[in-house]
Amino acid sequence: MSTPHPEATPAPPAPPPEPAAPRVRRRTLLTAVGLGAAGGLGLGAAAWPAPGRLPDRQTGDAELAGTARRVIGADRPALAVAWVTRDRTRTTVIGADADDRFEIGSISKPLTGLLFADLIARGVVAPDDRLGDRLPGVTGRLAAVTLGQLASHTSGLPRTLTTGASIGRAWWGTLTATNPHETTVADLISSAERTPLTAPPGTYSNAGFGLLGAALAATAGRPYPALLREWILGPAGMRDTLVPVSTDELTRRDLLGETASGRRSGPWLGPALTPAGGVRSDIADMARLARGALTGDLPGAAAMTPTRPFQGRARIGWAWLTSPSPVDPASLVLWHNGGTGGFSSFLGADRRSGTAVVVLSASAVDVTERGFALLADLGGRR
């Protein structure tokens, strides 16, 4: 069967001159992707930097590292994997330090889903609340969209906003290997208001989750990063997870990834993107999230309950997806994936086998299918 695949990053064209590097760590990944290999639009394939390969250096569980190399593959400069069962957590990091942070991409959406469910339980918001009543500045047809529709990809918003500015930003992001999405909430609202709400239910929308996060923050009177840390990350024990809105917040722990062709990718962040795909985390914190997915012991856990169809045989709660495993169709997997210009990620939990996995890769090469394969492989070892 085909696996619903909400995250995808298009292959970039020939590389232009590299953008200036942000203030993030350089020791590990910039070396791996070829820091000096900048090329112009007219250069041939021989001038492209080669995609990184996993080095010998690794930390954590050696058996898991071997399995990760075999199942996920070596076509990436750094990889972090967690294997969680009901009584044990094992992690490994290859090509980076144990506490380095990766962009988790759209696994940020399940975190926003947990926050939404938690605020519903507290009586702060309701699924039927209109966006226009919760986010100042929203007008027109967009104002009538409900928070529940945003959280379940049923708002009518398309995958990519269709204004000229949005399309231009997406092309520029691909050309320069930088963030292609709206960075300010005002820009996001403006582009979304001018985009027809004609996409069928189940159409994946980054903009929808950006708007949802902005609405939750506006309603609570707190910035989204502070709100997520206070109500979700802190109680979940994910205290090393970063919710940045500018490069000034990044430290030496925050890795740079690479595109599928091996180009260095700039970080994806900004107030509008953060609720949909801007969170960074290390493997220890992501293992805690995976354990919560396995046990249901997370604030806002109602978000994980599937309530409506999504794509194919998948069903969706508030961002969290549930579908049969493409490797073992008898298993229902609670999951989400993520992809940015330089990272790919997967989190899946099979409650029948009592196994959950996390895959964080410092390459845009997709890891979704391999993540499902790893879950099936490790689930069979109980």
- For 325-364, write each residue's pLDDT tens digit: 988 888 899 999 999 999 999 999 999 999 999 999 999 9
Measure the CA–CA gap between 131 and 89, rounded to whole angstroms: 40
What's residue 183's pLDDT? 82
**Domain of residue 290, residue span:** 58-380
What's residue 52's pLDDT? 86
Q: Is residue 46 part of a domain?
A: no
Supply the CATH number for residue 345's domain: 3.40.710.10
Q: Is residue 175 part of a domain?
A: yes
Q: Which residues pair with 79 in a beta bridge?
A: 94, 361
The total domain count for the chain is 1
pTM of the model: 0.88
Measure the CA–CA gap between 109 and 115, rounded to whole angstroms: 10
Report whether pLDDT(9) > 70.
no
Nearest CA-CA partner of 228 in 279, 189, 263 = 279
Q: Is residue 42 part of a domain?
A: no
Report whether pLDDT(31) > 50.
no
- For 275-331, write each residue's pLDDT tens digit: 999 999 999 999 999 999 999 999 999 999 999 999 999 999 999 999 999 888 888
When pLDDT is averaged across residues 97-121 and rounded to a whole number, the result is: 99
Measure the CA–CA gap between 314 and 308, rounded to whole angstroms: 9
Q: Is residue 186 part of a domain?
A: yes
Classified as helix, coil or strand, 228 is helix
Q: Is residue 27 part of a domain?
A: no
Report whether pLDDT(42) > 60.
no
Higher per-residue confidence, 1 vs 301: 301
